[in-house]
Amino acid sequence: MKKFLSLLLAVVMCTAMLVGCGSGNNSGGSGNSNPGSGASSGSGDTLIIREQGDPMSFNPSLAADDMLYDAAQNMFHRLTCLDASKQVIPEAAESWEVSDDALTITFHLKDKLKWTDGEALDAEDVKYTFDYIKEHPDCYFSSSMSIVDSIEVVDPLTVVFHMNTADMSFVARIGWYGTFILPEHVFNNGQTWSEKPASTNPTVTSGPFKFESYTQGSNTTLVANEDYAYGVPKVKKLVFSIIPDDATAMQALLNGEVDYVEMVPDSYVDEFLANPDLRLVKDDYPSPYRIIFNVNNEILSDVAVRKAIALCINREEISEKAYGGIMPPEYSAYPSISAWCANTTDTYPKQDIEAAKKVLEDAGYTKDADGYYVRGIEWDVFEGMQDMANLVIAACKEAGIEIKMILSEYNAWAEKVDARGNYMMESQGGFMGPDPAALATRYGSGQSSNYSGWSNAEFDRLCAEAAATGDTEKRAELYRAAQKILVEELPVINVVGFSSYQGMSAKLADMPIDGVGKWSWKDFSHAYFQ
């Protein structure tokens, strides 16, 4: 590898999270004989995974859809991914080289990857996929492709990315959201990806599992790809059973009706830890729960209002009362567990209700007859975040800020907030990996995942300079300066860091739970029942 690749790997190893392709370590689970509904345990050939909602598409390069990605990881490949040691490792790529100026990245593909219709997965598929992503803004990774000038196919197993900007995070970021390689011979027929039947019925895939069926509101079912050249899965079927309600999902795990749930609510943790039939693994990763302001909204365009709300947040109280102490308070704009680059000096403020009132008064706000300085704010929240929201809303009321919570089921929330951008305030997790370049992806001007609509030229400049810098200390310095701007202007406020317990039956082995949580993407190809 060239020196820039070595620098990239060194930087990524400093991050505290993976986006991985999974080799599986620790474990959990029990077999099921009724995979269609996730209703009874039994065979050991079927692994049943709880899913919170329906996928919005079956095209994993079209959108950032958590409800799809669990299945997609097992059906498709990216060029790279990250392992549990935070190193960039191959997935569809066998190896790669980065030129000394970081403007040319050459990928060499594995030679035995095939689509399930027998066609080879080759460099033309890679070029087609990323060219399409670059040309279509509705694709999640499209804005990140602006730094790619062109993609060259050298031979069936060699593809070259020619960059217009040196970006030390690019090799890591293409192992993240929206970068799965798709079959050109299936997709390239003049239809847009959203119109294409293969985006809803992915019968041609390349991974260790194949698509079998999807029933809305019930499940997605995959079956083992018996022709997979890199190891046929030990379980023969994966069923992603759709159970929106947490209480129902936890009872299903206790009953042996599902084998794995990703996030165990804190109210169940003690009971599950004491149950010898279950295994829990706690994971911390840089995906803070955050409040996002629509800065184009008339009320929330005023930074004084955003600062006053920030001063109302009691993170310690939220951590304990809303999340049972499992989710730690997060004051840094970039997750503090990524200590090498997080700015832990210039942070979000601690709660100070009187200071919040003063900020508003200094900005010219006066109380109305009901004692409010500001009214008319609506906060869109999906199920699971309402306890946090209620605590913040109550504190804001003390400071004279009226906020109404709009609570929705996850898919309805996603349609309103993610798909249509129709909100004043909203809350969600925000995975900030696999590299601090995610700051630009999340908050840079014009980025597809900059849900606030905020723009700051100096922030953009600092992130761009950091992305092109090979020196780790210099990169950290630049990213800390960018975080300081976020804390000053407050388009988004981090509240708690993301930690959770993954719950599973003690009968499962080699599950992709390795101390870094869901960002191993639940590659279940190594899992088996003991």
Q: What pLDDT, in 10s, does the model give residues 172-212?
A: 889 877 899 999 999 999 899 999 999 999 999 999 999 99
Q: What's residue 83's pLDDT?
A: 62
Torsion angle of C-alpha atoms 520, 523, 526, 530, degrees rounded to 10: 80
Residue matched to tokens 């995942």: 449
| Model confidence at 310: pLDDT above 90 | yes
Lowest mean pLDDT across 150-154, 264-268, 394-398, 513-517: 513-517
Q: How far apart are CA 513 and CA 525, in angstroms?
A: 13
Q: Report the alpha-carbon distance of residue 230 to residue 207 in Å, rounded.
A: 9
| Tokens at 212, concatenated | 């079998």
For the chain, domains (ranges, CATH) are: 3-33+40-204+507-529 (3.90.76.10), 285-499 (3.10.105.10)
pLDDT digit string, tens, across residues 362-382: 999 999 999 999 999 999 999
Name the percent of the chain lying above pLDDT 70. Answer: 88
Poorest-pLDDT segment among 217-221, 313-317, 320-324: 320-324
pLDDT of residue 519: 40
What distances in angstroms separate CA 476 from CA 170, 182, 246, one per listed residue? 17, 35, 39
Q: Which pTM value belongs to this model?
A: 0.71
For residue 106, the cross-strand partners are: 97, 160
Structure-block tokens of residue 95: 């190896």
Q: What are phi and psi of 267, to 5 degrees?
A: -70, -15
Where is average pLDDT lowest: 12-21, 44-53, 318-327?
A: 12-21
Query: How many whole angstroms separate alpha carbon 434 and alpha carbon 266?
Result: 27
Residue 469 CA: distances (Å) to CA of 16, 101, 439, 474, 479: 20, 11, 15, 7, 11
- The full DSSP string for 235-289 is SSEEEEEE---HHHHHHHHHTTS-SEEEEE-HHHHHHHHT-TTEEEEEEEEEEEE
The Cα–Cα gap between 206 and 112 comes to 10
Mean pLDDT, residues 285-301: 94
Instruction: Give CA–CA dist 480/473, Å, rounded.
Output: 11
Whether 296 and 530 have beta carbons less than 8 Å apart is answered as no
